[in-house]
Structure 1
């Protein structure tokens, strides 16, 4: 895990020429950050593992999942993620970052084993919902934890390990599924081994997390300054960094966790900003990205790649996603997020429209047509993962004023998971009734609608004007 992350991070530095500055990432901090990033790896792995496993799960001699049940199996995890993410703030403050991360690893392991041993579809759906609680919690906890254990100059570098770990987890899941599916293509219970493999990084996280420190910022919130001071020193924080953390902790303690809901819903600027955040969250998922990340093998089988070919097609999907998020990060940081969002959505319209036409008309010979489908899918993934997805996260981190940021960001993130849940649930039904070409036509028009929504709500001038009211 650490070796692969270093390779990817080296690629980022080579491509983007990171800003120069002293590198004080001491061995203890490096170890701590890589362990915490395993939470992101778990997030990526388990959102990706269903992609290859679902084909085998749906076999008549296995669980015989029909399209509606397939949607429930995939979306159950996402629904759990929504609740897990919302619960993270309370649990992280009450239990502490380290203990919560260990609970995430434990629940993840138990739920993963339950998924692998499921006797019927409803047991699998229930187990994946519980698994989603831990995945959703990890998706919110890991970047928070990484931010708090990192000195200011290393925060971007260390928090980015989580983003890299997510796509690396998805790529690993696709690769493991492809290998297992190729070695035992006629042994339909292989999906249970695919599911069970996800327990390995969870156990590794639980074991390695025993040697990492709790967040020093959390100790400050608990008024345990001696513990905080010792850990700050071990992690290599400067006196300036420590002072800033102390000031931020005092402000957090004095502010408390009360939200003035009457103020929020009686203020037109606040309502607009909330609408903007929720719209940005909706756009990220309505573009159709997770139909490919969750159901890639189903889609590729339906266009004629076959079971083995579709599994290796998923590996290509994972590789393109990994390279796109690495290559697009610096672009998103340097150029206007609002403009890049429109550019990315426009590219989605072109690629999905073209994909639908190729699937419907089959203009080339079958083998060549399959290659063309993979190329167009790769282009869609490159623009979505390189521009649209990171841009939406960037917008949600910067568009709200400080006093609204925590509440509005949480509500906008919940919209991401909710939209993801709905699309994951209905996609198998849509593909059964409309076919692959028809479904991608629907998402082509969905992206057109997202461009219109972005023009209204993800408008730089209007958002800044509303934020200036606070």
Structure 2
């Protein structure tokens, strides 16, 4: 059924400009993911003003979490959409929805219009969160998969940093013009439009062409991307297996063996762990947290920029570590570091051991340390595992379900966080996340064990 002639030399080209261009454009989906999840941090302060939307803590939770709820449904929809439309068309659709929903957010006349607009925006963000790493994995030769998939994690952090920086600049230039949050929201349309245009010049996934029995197109794309002969053969074999299994095989396999059930459980566990760490409480509510501990609104916005800079440095610094060391081991190391930093943060917030100004600096340092380990180790490792740990015939479905778990956990935490802050205080909330990270270490050891995952995956080869 699949035959492709091989004329190129074995081994991918070291510097394939077409592959590099394609991978960076696809990673823009991650950038938009980061920007649109980060833009609420800073904008929410202005949205909550009495002369704007006057959002109370419960409404703030809905505004933040509505996007995340949309993300869950968007991630689940990737399975069918990516297979039916193709990776490229879906990425272009995502960019279009990003653009339209972003404009709608900026024009919202009340809280409910903003909540609904952010839910629609979340559908595209959720699609991007699952599609981009899957797409990057499929357009990359084996030896470049980790590097290219990690571009998505880097793009997410850069997107968040860009959102924090734009918000800080706008908030500083027009601190007394409360509608500035509309400009903050609208700025996200710029990269979305760029992705919409630039994605016209990238290829579809060659693996998707194989699934659609378009072997000539697959051959051309494999060559342009610099795939070696061995990688092409492996893709052909995997495509044959996926076609032979049929469209409904994924759901049949879930219930047919202990191996598939364990792999699904491992994916759900990793998705839960990424959010239970508490990372997005800082990414979404950083300004609120910093204002609660005594920083002014302007200082809080620039504190967010520091948070974004640390995250960006951490993910670049951790890039080579992630590529060299077992991701399962790095996950445990990162979670242990989170336990230490969040416990220390809770203690400092509770006891205030230093003078007010010095205590605020200490809180920023500890937050920066927490973000460095989370963004440099835990987050990129979880995205990498979800893109690589499943056998090909289960990958699209299990990746989408696991990504949906990320967003479901994120939704619950984002929804209740403002209420928790109001009831427990910042110190109490971070103590809760300290114990959550400790629990995640146990979950990872039991339900995401590297030996058991590899053993389960081997049964599908």
Q: Same fold, TM exceeding 0.5? A: yes
Match of residue 326 from structure 1: 316
Q: Residues 216, 269 of structure 1: CA spacing in aligned structure 2 closer, same or farther, 3 A cutoff?
A: closer
Contact persistence 2:136–2:149 (CA under 8 A): yes
Alignment of 1:82-101 (within 5 A): 82-101=72-91
Unaligned runs of 5+ in 1: 1-20
Equivalent of residue 406 in structure 2, options 407, 410, 416 = 416
Match of residue 368 from structure 2: 378
Moved more, 95-104 or 128-137: 95-104
CA drift at 1:216: 2.9
Contact persistence 1:57–1:191 (CA under 8 A): yes
Contact persistence 2:13–2:226 (CA under 8 A): no
Q: Residues 420, 313 of structure 1: CA spacing in aligned structure 2 closer, same or farther, 3 A cutoff?
A: same
2: distance between equivalents of 1:121 and 1:240? 55
Contact persistence 1:71–1:426 (CA under 8 A): yes
CA drift at 1:465: 5.8
TM-score of the two chains, using structure 1 as the length reference = 0.88
Match of residue 121 from structure 2: 131
2: distance between equivalents of 1:161 and 1:207? 20
Contact persistence 2:35–2:160 (CA under 8 A): yes
1: distance between equivalents of 2:294 and 2:154? 32
Match of residue 254 from structure 1: 244
Match of residue 293 from structure 1: 283
Contact persistence 2:153–2:380 (CA under 8 A): no
Match of residue 446 from structure 1: 436
1: distance between equivalents of 2:147 and 2:159? 18
Aligned alpha-carbon RMSD (Å) = 2.4
Structure 1 residues 341-384: Cα deviation after superposition (integer angstroms, max 9, x where no partner): 33322221221111112112222111111100000001111122
Structure 1 residues 196-235: Cα deviation after superposition (integer angstroms, max 9, x where no partner): 0000001111122222233333223222333333333333
Contact persistence 1:25–1:236 (CA under 8 A): no
Q: Residues 114, 286 of structure 1: CA spacing in aligned structure 2 closer, same or farther, 3 A cutoff?
A: same
What is the number of residues matched between the two proteins? 450
Q: Larger relative CO (CA 8 A, sep 6+): 1 or 2? A: 2
SS of 2:39's equivalent? Answer: helix
Contact persistence 1:341–1:387 (CA under 8 A): yes
Q: Residues 337, 435 of structure 1: CA spacing in aligned structure 2 closer, same or farther, 3 A cutoff?
A: same
CA drift at 1:420: 0.6
SS of 2:93's equivalent? Answer: helix
Q: Residues 148, 404 of structure 1: CA spacing in aligned structure 2 closer, same or farther, 3 A cutoff?
A: closer
Contact persistence 1:108–1:199 (CA under 8 A): yes
Q: Please say if 1:49 is aligned against 2:39.
A: yes
